[in-house]
């Protein structure tokens, strides 16, 4: 009788232990009931346009898609140096659907999604400066500040780092790469390639590196404000 009772107690303790382990594992799983959860070291960089889609055409005839890729590759390397796991939505001149770009970021459970673009105005070549677009009120799943804050922090860093004109952060609900991503996401318009002087700067490694360093600085400031770390 005593042996049977002891066996039941051991079985009960074992079952309770297994339930506890399963509960802890579920708590830290990235997906529970279909919910998305970011990974802290993963960043997706999206060089806008590509392939058959050149994007804007600059004052001197340069394609936006090419400048996007040059800056994105530099950004990729700089973030890799800081031990982030960085993913490019394209690494050559090819066309990628916008929905596929967003889905890649979701699949890789990115912490942030950064889409890199140039700006242009057909009938006004005097306008220059940086804009940052964002989908309003997209919250982080891991304690980071929301989209709005990400856009403003990166914008401030870029203005300080490049000396370019601040053209503001702008809400955009209609852009697929922003409204279909599940993590904080921004679209950086690094300058107006329809402006002769800004296009010239953006074609130089020196200025591209300043743009990249400013983005990285802004991202690291944003990450440092993670609410779970404070």
Which pLDDT score, from 0 to 100, does residue 13 have? 74
Alpha carbon distance 40, 132 (integer Å):
22
Residues of the chain short of pLDDT 50, as ranges, are 26-33
Which pLDDT score, from 0 to 100, does residue 114 have? 98
Q: Are 55 and 96 in contact (CB under 8 A)?
A: no
Domain borders along the chain are: 1-30, 42-229
Superfamily of domain 42-229: Zn-dependent exopeptidases (3.40.630.40)
9-59: pLDDT as tens digits: 777 677 777 776 665 554 444 444 358 899 999 999 999 999 999 999 999
**Helix count (H) and strand count (E) of the chain?**
7, 6
Residue 78, Cβ neighbours under 10 Å: how many?
16
| 116: enclosing H helix or E strand | strand 112-119
């Amino acid at each position: 009788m005593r042996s049977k009772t002891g066996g039941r107690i051991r079985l009960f303790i074992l079952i309770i232990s297994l339930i506890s382990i399963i509960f802890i594992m579920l708590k830290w799983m990235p997906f529970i009931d279909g919910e998305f959860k970011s990974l802290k070291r993963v960043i997706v960089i999206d060089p806008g346009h590509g392939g058959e889609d050149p994007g804007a055409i600059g004052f001197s005839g340069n394609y936006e898609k090419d400048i996007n890729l040059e800056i994105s590759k530099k950004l990729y390397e700089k973030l890799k140096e800081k031990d982030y796991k960085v993913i490019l939505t394209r690494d050559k001149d090819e066309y990628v659907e916008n929905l596929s770009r967003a889905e890649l970021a979701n699949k890789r459970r990115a912490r942030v999604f950064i889409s890199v673009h140039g700006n242009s105005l057909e009938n006004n070549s005097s306008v220059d400066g940086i804009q940052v677009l964002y989908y309003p009120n997209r919250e982080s799943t891991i304690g980071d500040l929301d989209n709005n804050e990400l856009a403003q922090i990166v914008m401030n860093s870029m203005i300080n780092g490049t000396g370019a004109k601040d053209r503001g952060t702008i809400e955009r609900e209609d852009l697929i790469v922003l409204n279909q991503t599940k993590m904080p996401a921004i679209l950086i318009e690094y300058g107006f390639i329809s402006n002769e002087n800004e296009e010239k700067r953006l074609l130089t490694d020196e200025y591209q590196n300043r743009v990249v360093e400013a983005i990285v600085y802004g991202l690291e400031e944003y990450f440092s404000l993670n609410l779970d770390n404070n």
